[in-house]
Homo-oligomer: A and B are copies of this chain.
């Protein structure tokens, strides 16, 4: 029996991705499900960070993961093994990003009604995923210390779009010329409202702080939903 289900995504038939994304986001809000679009360079630590976060959050929330990859199911198997949560693999068929229709296909397969939080691990790429709204309510990116503090200068769009930036691999700071303060300024120059948290997914440093961010975001979503339901009644 295969360890994780694998979905081969078909190309979007919808021409208007922005509308599709908006409709998906509204439906997620109505169902009290937080979808998090996780983006980064290849090797910045998306999977390791998700495992660390999920292990902090899984007692409180029902969590699912969708792993988008061009090839291989390394990540979905790793997440299923190490975080013990529901995980599916999305094959993009060579595509360099996910759009809203592809995201929706994945959610349907995962069974969106069973979760409070679904993490969508996008293709490792700082360019194309930033150009396509997946419908997620929360966009985050991970910038790892070895990549350098200048990345927000060179890949501006992704930093404009992200609500949360995790600076990962801070355990490796002594090994690299990386100026945390300069990095923060570069991120904030792209989006002054960014939440920035420095972490080490490997050692666990500050993972609790990041988990708390997600806790608050899900709880705010559920509160909003309660208020809306009361208003409707």
> Chain A interface (Cβ within 8 Å of chain B)?
41-44, 69-72, 74-75, 94, 96, 123-128, 131, 144, 146-148, 150-151, 153-157, 169, 171-172, 175-176
Contacts and interface: CB of A to CB of B under 8 A. Distances in A.
Given A124-B155, A172-B175, A147 B43 contact: yes
Contacts of A154: 42, 69-72, 74-75, 124
Contact of A146 (B71, B74, B123, B144): B144
A38 to B, nearest CB: 15
Given A72-B150, A124-B155, 18 more contacts: A42-B126, A42-B147, A43-B151, A44-B147, A69-B154, A70-B154, A70-B157, A71-B154, A72-B153, A74-B154, A94-B131, A94-B157, A96-B96, A96-B125, A127-B128, A144-B146, A146-B147, A146-B172
Contacts of A144: 43, 146
Nearest to A147: B43
Contacts of A74: 150, 153-154
- Secondary structure of the A side of the interface? loop
Contact of A41 (B70, B72, B124, B169): B124
Q: Which 9 A-B pairs give the minimum distances between C-beta atoms? A: A43-B147, A146-B146, A96-B127, A72-B153, A41-B42, A41-B41, A71-B156, A43-B148, A96-B128
B126 A126 contact: no
Specify which of A69, A72, A171 lies most central, judged by the most chain B CB atoms within 10 Å of its CB.
Answer: A72
A81 to B, nearest CB: 15
A123 B128 CA distance: 11
Contacts of A123: 127
A114 to B, nearest CB: 28
A170 B89 CA distance: 31
Nearest to A92: B127
A224 to B, nearest CB: 34
Contact of A156 (B70, B75, B131): B70
